[in-house]
Structure 1
């Protein structure tokens, strides 16, 4: 049977075909597991508690969900704690393009709070993956989020989507929100977000944000390179174009669009930490057998979200690999937007915070902090760097350390970022 891994190894542009063949082949096993699990859950208590039944039921529960999905999960944030009370949260789309929706997580009964634009990665997962970041921010901020669309659902007639279009989306979101906005870039969008801020600054646009926070983003991957950086640098861009880019099949709305399939990114992420993922599933199995439903549900919720994948426009994926991970255009001052040079030194009125995880094996410590050396126009007193001990990549923006140690730093930074007087321009 042809597999996605085989297709990658052999360099055949059959990713969609191989994946969907595997999916169809595995469908009977998934269906049988789901039916068996339902039947075993319906058994009366004495039988349901038998050791053999509990083991089979746990295995079937896991197998029934052991496959990727392709629909965006719900954010599911209906209320948050603001001060000493719970307030309702309502999702409101405020700006929509074929490739993204600007969502406002409105809190009608909350007092005025600092306005924050959250920009998440376009890297094979839906923006709902950073739900923990958004939920925590909502307690103290008026939160807006760019919710990227699945590229396989975007008709080809809407044209390509590369780094230029991504940067333009960030600028348009900031212009829509207006002055006094703070922007938070989570992971991958560090360079495009900083580029958008630099372009607004160079134009003296009133939409320049008060502050920008870059969280575990690859500003300069030459610093402390890891295996992700090494892998990206050792293969020509033509390798990626031939082997991990495919065309959306006719049965989808985006038929004919070239994409980096989300399932390929999921496979890559899973293979980077195979032992950790196997251990997590073994733990979930033991929790299900023992009847520890709460712990099992927490693990399952993570993998339900992790397994929800979206396709990425091929232009954006290939340009990111080539310009950020291989050529280091931004770090070396050669980055452009629609042919115009992008100068991070033009940023003078926006405060800068960078956050990194000490154990991050995807974006190594130092790669995000490099932004400080590039943003020469920001006074030192308006720059801050935070290195979080004891966390890897995802711990920077989710989990207990994010909530207890990273978020207080970000919150204090946003509160302290005052709008300075505009620096007079000469010439």
Structure 2
């Protein structure tokens, strides 16, 4: 019921957030009658903040068009290499007319970046991808929002996750002979399992395996999250955080851990910091500090998309 209630509340809020956006523009326009009001800038800023607090945040784009490789601007073409029900394997192919740079690009190694499936989209690693593109052929896992996957596609378990990673590794290896693998945060566990299984079968394993900030052995540095997992049964989680996807989505009826719950958990870890950030955004709008306001929008457009 909680998921249905959340979606109903969001649908009811949508016209008000659209109205707030329109009001912000009207009061923010100096040529408007309302823009002549002595408090117009403050009113506009208030409506703008109201709009951003209530709006629905869509999946962002990677938006990588070019990358600098040793002083040469190289074009980037983003494309889907493999498409599976719960994930797309994306490649960022590089193009250039500079023959010297082209030869250099062909000799560079391939890397598979395994992005987290834990709330935010893979676009959160945009800067990581951009940096790696300077000296690697880059692939990344772009996980699908489970509410968009019909129940006819079956479930997606840890075993399936590990099998996906193995398939993606083999795909990149088939093109270049071998590759490097980098996992960030949550996927370090399935990546370690995938590579271990490949090694146990005598398969070709990646040239290197980088695991960044992941819970390989959470017992060594227990946190509040770790303690919650230890003090609550699996049945407790099933009854309190697992809900069925509402009927308006392709994956209607699928049992999921909704992204809005994960996002709420993220915000709850540092509520004062987020409140201060939004207040600073309000003040930046009043002062006309467009650079700081744009930086706030850029961060929260990504952070609030789950």
User: TM over 0.5, yes or no?
Assistant: yes
Q: How far off its partner does 1:36 sit?
A: 0.3
Q: How far off its partner does 1:28 sit?
A: 4.0
Q: How far off its partner does 1:141 sit?
A: 1.3
Please name the residue that 2:280 is paired with: 283
Within 1, Cα distance between the matches of 2:152 and 2:210? 35
Pick one of 155, 158, 169 that aligns with 1:160.
Answer: 155
Give the 3-state SS of the residue equivalent to 2:22 in structure 1.
Answer: helix
Aligned length: 295
Are 1:150 and 2:145 counterparts? Answer: yes
Cα pair distance change 1:293/1:303, threshold 3 Å = same
User: Does 43-52 or 152-161 show the bigger shift?
Assistant: 43-52
Please name the residue that 2:114 is paired with: 119
Q: How far off its partner does 1:71 sit?
A: 3.6
Q: Is the 8 A contact 1:68 1:263 kept in 2?
A: no
Cα pair distance change 1:97/1:56, threshold 3 Å = same
Within 2, Cα distance between the matches of 1:49 and 1:130? 43
Please name the residue that 1:133 is paired with: 128
Pick one of 190, 193, 199 that aligns with 1:192.
Answer: 190
Structure 1 residues 267-306: aligned runs within 5 Å? 267-306=264-303
Please name the residue that 2:79 is paired with: 92
Structure 1 residues 7-406: aligned runs within 5 Å? 14-44=1-31, 48=35, 52-67=39-54, 69=56, 71-109=58-96, 110=102, 111-112=105-106, 113-178=108-173, 179-206=177-204, 208-309=205-306
Give the 3-state SS of the residue equivalent to 2:88 in structure 1.
Answer: strand
Within 1, Cα distance between the matches of 2:3 and 2:95? 44
Give the 3-state SS of the residue equivalent to 1:250 in structure 2.
Answer: coil
Cα pair distance change 1:172/1:68, threshold 3 Å = farther
Q: How far off its partner does 1:54 sit?
A: 1.3
Deviations 1:156-185 (A, max 9, x none): 011110110111011000000013200110
- CA RMSD in angstroms comes to 1.8
Within 1, Cα distance between the matches of 2:301 and 2:242? 25
Within 1, Cα distance between the matches of 2:38 and 2:303? 30
Cα pair distance change 1:253/1:45, threshold 3 Å = closer
Cα pair distance change 1:30/1:198, threshold 3 Å = same
Deviations 1:33-55 (A, max 9, x none): 11101212333299858762111
Give the 3-state SS of the residue equivalent to 2:90 in structure 1.
Answer: strand
Q: Is the 8 A contact 1:68 1:307 kept in 2?
A: no
Give the 3-state SS of the residue equivalent to 1:220 in structure 2.
Answer: coil
Deviations 1:292-337 (A, max 9, x none): 111111111111111111xxxxxxxxxxxxxxxxxxxxxxxxxxxx
Larger proportion of helix: 2
Q: Is the 8 A contact 1:190 1:217 kept in 2?
A: yes
Q: How far off its partner does 1:70 sit?
A: 5.9
Cα pair distance change 1:260/1:70, threshold 3 Å = farther
Within 1, Cα distance between the matches of 2:155 and 2:55? 26
Within 1, Cα distance between the matches of 2:290 and 2:154? 46
User: Does 19-28 or 286-295 show the bigger shift?
Assistant: 19-28
Give the 3-state SS of the residue equivalent to 1:123 in structure 2.
Answer: coil
Give the 3-state SS of the residue equivalent to 1:66 in structure 2.
Answer: helix
Within 1, Cα distance between the matches of 2:39 and 2:229? 47
Within 1, Cα distance between the matches of 2:252 and 2:33? 53
Q: Is the 8 A contact 2:91 2:139 kept in 1?
A: yes
TM-score if structure 1 supplies the norm length?
A: 0.66
Within 1, Cα distance between the matches of 2:54 and 2:23? 17
Deviations 1:93-124 (A, max 9, x none): 11110111110100022422221100011112
Q: Is the 8 A contact 1:103 1:145 kept in 2?
A: yes
Please name the residue that 1:417 is paired with: none
Cα pair distance change 1:141/1:51, threshold 3 Å = farther
Q: How far off its partner does 1:23 sit?
A: 1.5
Q: How far off its partner does 1:257 sit?
A: 1.0
